Amino acid sequence: MQPRIAHHPTDRSKARWKAVALLALIGFWLFSGITGRDPWKPDELTYIGVLQHVAHGRDLVWWPRIGGALVPGELALIHWATLPVAWITSAWLELHEAARLANIFWTASAIAALAAATRHWSGGHISWLTAVLVIGCLGLYDRAHSYLPDVALFAAIAWAIAGCALLPDRSRIGVALITGAIVVAAAARGLHGFLLVVVPLAVLMAAPVLSSHRVSLVRSLLLGASVCGVLAWGLWQADSAAFQQFLADGAGIQRGGRERLAPLFYGTTVLWFAWPVWPVAIWLVVLRGRGFYGGWQRAEVIVPAVFFLCGFVLLCVTSDAKAAYLLSLLPPLIVLAAFGVDTIKRTWYGLIDWFGILVLGLTALATVLVSSALYLKWPPNLAQWMTRYVPDFQDTPPWLGYAVALIAFVIWLALIQPAQQHARRAFINWAGCVTFLWVVVQALLIRPADYISSYRATFERLLGEVPADVCVSALAVPSGQTAMLAYHGARPIQSAATPPAVDCPFVVVLRDRGGPETAIDPRWQMLASAARPGDNSERYALYRNPSAPIVAQSSGRS
């Protein structure tokens, strides 16, 4: 067993009110932004559509479909975990809000796992500092509050790191955590998620710090692979054709059609996505590499470093360039940063402290000013300028939102008041500023943001002339928008790639200004056209197909 390294200040013997304040901060950050808005582009649309298909399927849904077509490279397994929350909260929450509520479990479990790992490796001197670093990461501010399988993958990586930390003293719990991480990662992202957990663990078996626990690591890998194999066998038995198509699509790995160079994209995007933890993580590695604080050949350095390096290489090789995939790189960076916070120089944490207070505080004040221009039309120049981005927006002022923003402002002032200056205080202030800004934005700008980002009003207006339970074909419409047609339109939707494949009496066609013109049958009669406010790139047209009779179908959504 490795000797413990002392860290000061410590998480031990904290005043009780500080623990309560930390839990309140975590609660505010977790639960704000869950309700009050519809699914938004780019990713949440597809996964809400998949969840709708899973929840409203007549039988147990094994493969996700949108508009009757398989969703390439996706599994329905992780969405099963959301169903109990959706059923319990169906009386007062819509499906997309219940789905985001289920995300709280994944995020909270990731925070707890990272806290357990750092607490074990530091001998109790570092634990819930990791929660502050999680809240402070800019990449998590909206993605942790959106329904994405990558949030479950984020939790799985955290579980795997915690499992490695617990192997020396609590091997059974460590094996269980690692096994669960492998299964959850595979259920969320298929082979891509499976590799993100298994490859670092296989590399770590050669590390001297875990050499005495190779048997436990091998046991975890075998158990996790066995459970994944049983699930794969069940999927194949349920629908062999869908399983073969899943394999043909890469089993969760995107192998082609990349528009951006993945290493360059991930290398530059992580600079803001993982801010402010990545500079502290680099500093910790440099400091340990020079032999300070026990050196670099320790589990708290090697384990997260291996997870990060292997994850970065796998992202570049097995996935398209998409910012949400960087969630899998945050847990190891957070662990490294947690051990580096107490060692950074005063000028560094002073910069982070004042940058958060000034920039994020001023951004929150700008948010109040923008909301005043949108709701109260003051100042008039700003109100006129905002009409370019939020045209024809009319709504009553959110007085409750202003009250919430005022309360949050008072709490924020109390948080950043002068206190004993140290690095941990700077990161607590940063997390408080991020949470304050997030709460203010949700309280004041959520309605205008939803007005221009939601497809609800657009698709309800477009499908207003279509009788209930009459199928509508979506011709060359992306899967996310097809999912929203079924979700907001409350009508059966069938995807069609070409006009001859259309067999519904009504057809929705996307007129994308940046894409090729979609060919339509000249016999079709145009009935309506609609677009989101302020969005000139996407316009949807509804056509009547005279060759198909109007026949009511089952109300089950696709």
Paired sense of beta strands 493-496 and 506-512, if any: unpaired
- CA dihedral (494, 497, 503, 504) in degrees, to 10, reads 50
Least confident of 88-102, 152-166, 518-532: 518-532
DSSP reduced 3-state for 529? strand
- Planar angle of CA 513, 514, 520, nearest 5 degrees: 60
Statement: residue 208 has pLDDT above 50: yes
Which residue carries 């039309």 as its tokens? 377
Q: Residue by residue, what is the 3-state secondary structure of 318-355?
A: HCCCCHHHHHHHHHHHHHHHHHHHHHCCHHHHHHHHHH
- What does the alpha-carbon distance between residue 383 and residue 374 come to, in Å, rounded to a whole number? 6
Confidence of residue 5 (pLDDT cuts 50, 70, 90): very low
Confidence of residue 370 (pLDDT cuts 50, 70, 90): very high
- Give the burial class of 17: count Cβ atoms within 10 A of its Cβ; 0-12 exposed, 13-18 middle, 19 or more buried: exposed
Which residue carries 């206190």 as its tokens? 419
- What does the alpha-carbon distance between residue 508 and residue 477 come to, in Å, rounded to a whole number? 8
Least confident of 310-319, 434-443, 545-554: 545-554
CB 428 within 8 A of CB 415: yes
Burial code (b: 16+ CB inside 10 Å, e: under 16) for 498-507 equals ebeebebbbb
Q: What would the mean pLDDT of 108-119 be, rounded to a whole number?
A: 96
Quote the pLDDT of residue 3. Answer: 46
Quote the pLDDT of residue 156. Answer: 98
Q: What would the mean pLDDT of 523-548 be, rounded to a whole number?
A: 88
Least confident of 237-241, 281-285, 494-498: 494-498
Confidence of residue 228 (pLDDT cuts 50, 70, 90): very high
Tokens of 402: 């202003």
Statement: residue 126 has pLDDT above 60: yes
CB 461 within 8 A of CB 528: yes
Kindly report the backbone phi and psi dihedral angles of residue 364, in degrees, each rounded to the nearest multiple of 5, phi listed first: -65, -40
Quote the pLDDT of residue 19. Answer: 75
DSSP reduced 3-state for 530? strand
Residue type (1 letter), 5: I
Statement: residue 6 has pLDDT above 50: no
Confidence of residue 418 (pLDDT cuts 50, 70, 90): low
- What does the alpha-carbon distance between residue 234 and residue 60 come to, in Å, rounded to a whole number? 12
Residues linked to residue 69 through DSSP beta bridges, in sequence order:
66
- Planar angle of CA 428, 148, 431, nearest 5 degrees: 5
In the chain, what's the furthest Cα-to-Cα distance?
79
Tokens of 52: 């709708």
Statement: residue 369 has pLDDT above 90: yes
- What does the alpha-carbon distance between residue 225 and residue 533 come to, in Å, rounded to a whole number? 48
Q: What would the mean pLDDT of 218-222 be, rounded to a whole number?
A: 96
Q: For the segment 23-72, what is each residue's pLDDT rounded down to a tens digit?
A: 888 888 999 889 889 999 888 999 999 999 999 876 678 999 998 889 98
Statement: residue 148 has pLDDT above 90: yes
- Half-sphere exposure at residue 244, Cβ-oriented, CA atoms within 13 angstroms: 3
Strand order in the sheet with 506-512: 493-496, 472-475, 506-512, 538-544, 525-530
Task: Assign 3-state DSSP to the chain and report helix, strand, coil percentages, each to 5.
Answer: 60, 5, 30
Please state, for a pLDDT cut of 90, what percent of the chain lies above it. 60
Closest residue by Cα to residue 69 from 483, 487, 516:
483
Confidence of residue 556 (pLDDT cuts 50, 70, 90): very low
Statement: residue 287 has pLDDT above 80: yes
- What does the alpha-carbon distance between residue 75 and residue 416 come to, in Å, rounded to a whole number? 45
- pLDDT: which is higher, 254 or 507: 507
- What does the alpha-carbon distance between residue 77 and residue 376 come to, in Å, rounded to a whole number? 47
Statement: residue 440 has pLDDT above 50: yes
Confidence of residue 414 (pLDDT cuts 50, 70, 90): confident
- What does the alpha-carbon distance between residue 186 and residue 188 come to, in Å, rounded to a whole number? 5
- pLDDT: which is higher, 554 or 69: 69
Angle, helix 423-444 to helix 446-453, in steps of 10 degrees: 60
The mean pLDDT of the chain is 88
Does this model's pTM top 0.75?
Answer: yes
- What does the alpha-carbon distance between residue 556 and residue 253 come to, in Å, rounded to a whole number? 31
Q: For the segment 319-367, what is each residue's pLDDT rounded down to a tens digit?
A: 888 889 999 999 999 999 999 999 998 888 888 888 888 888 889 999 9
Statement: residue 133 has pLDDT above 60: yes
Least confident of 55-64, 217-226, 236-245: 55-64
Statement: residue 450 has pLDDT above 60: yes
